[in-house]
Amino acid sequence: MDLDIDCAALAAELQDTFVQMKVFFDVYFQVVGKGDFTKEKFNVLFNADLPVNETDIITNIRNSEGIISKRTRLANHPWVRDVDEEMEQLKQEQQEAVEQFGSGLFDDAMGATQSGGAIDDER
């Protein structure tokens, strides 16, 4: 646990260092005519290479359903990098499933054919 705290502190210091270095790089690129990158954002991800049991994490996330929000669960899922993108993807998949399910019901309802004035329900 102490090592985790030390690593987190070092990561915070390094993140600040990279932010300060970005200012230098922005000026350098402007001077040499490579472009203006002052509005660009970046993120440095530090991988501590600690063994992680993803199965336990995912199980705990599933067990948290109904207790914490979907956004929080997605933010803590080990395979999700962008929560907003993942939520949009889930929304699209749900819409596709509803459309597919809905069209199946429509086909079943319209499956009855008419022959000679009487409805024939046999297929």
What does 33-77 look like in DSSP terms, one character per residue?
TS---TT--------------HHHHHHHHHHTBTTB-HHHHHHT-
Residue type at position 50: L
Per-residue pLDDT of the chain (123 residues; tens, 9 = 90+): 677 788 888 888 998 899 899 999 999 999 999 999 889 988 887 776 667 788 999 999 999 999 999 999 999 999 999 999 999 999 999 999 998 887 665 555 555 444 455 555 544
Of the candidates 45, 44, 27, the residue with the CA atom closest to the CA atom of residue 36: 27
Residues 55 and 80 in one domain: yes
User: How many separate domains does the chain show?
Assistant: 2
pTM above the 0.85 mark?
no
Q: What is the Cα Rg of the chain in Å?
A: 27
With beta carbons less than 8 A apart as the criterion, state whether 15 and 44 touch: yes
Q: Decide if 43 is inside a domain.
A: yes
Residues 98 and 69 in one domain: yes
